[in-house]
Amino acid sequence: MPRRYGRCCKKMIKKVVYSDMHSVSGNQSLYLPLMENTSIHLGRETESKLIFRARALRAKAITLGGLFLVLATLNAVAIDTYNYKGVCPSPNGGKRILDKWYEWECECTSYVADKLNERGVPFHARYKNVLWKGAGTWINAATAGGVPYNKTPPRGDVAWYAYGHVAYVDAVDSYGDVTISEYNWGVPHDYHTRTINRGAKSYPNYFIHF
């Protein structure tokens, strides 16, 4: 009986130790020196530490990935912070009421003026001693005032359309696609936002770098 019992335990211990060590290191030759109970416990403790460390690294990666996703989302999503949004589209939309920058409330120029001032640019209708009124003339005003513009948009630029519209650039991706926010486009005298692919017909003609 003692001899049979010993063989039974030996087989059982070999199976346990081999299974534990194989899952940790993949080295089958290591199970023979770990036949004692102390070595078994050490093998299991090592495995537990490795599993815990792997789970911790995975959790850290998920957390960082979620943070980057949140930051990217915040960068791309525009929020209406317009100073006159409480009176747009009604009752003031379309009534040609001057705002504090001497643009008409609820119009695209008034919204962009608000966004520029929010960013720290002291813009108003006589910025740089040049008249900035109708959106269609803003490129001429930029030229006269020495404000640069081109077809490459950074975030915070003013998107300009030759047909007479301006918008604010909230985000730009690596392809040059832009997310803009605006007033009086799509919905009369109200807030609107859209993402436009570079090369699309609706892509802005120029971007003014205030």
Higher pLDDT, 21 or 196: 196
110-153: per-residue pLDDT in tens?
A: 999 999 999 999 999 999 999 999 999 999 999 999 999 999 99
Q: Identify whether the C-beta of residue 182 lies closer than 8 Å to the C-beta of residue 193.
A: yes
Residue 79 pLDDT level (bands cut at 50, 70, 90): confident
159-175: per-residue pLDDT in tens?
A: 999 999 999 999 999 99
88-113: per-residue pLDDT in tens?
A: 999 999 999 999 999 999 999 999 99
CATH of 107-208, one of 1.10.3210.10, 3.20.20.80, 3.90.1720.10, 2.40.10.120: 3.90.1720.10
Task: Provide the whole-model pTM.
Answer: 0.65
Percentage of residues in the chain having pLDDT higher than 90:
62
pLDDT given for residue 54 in this prediction: 60
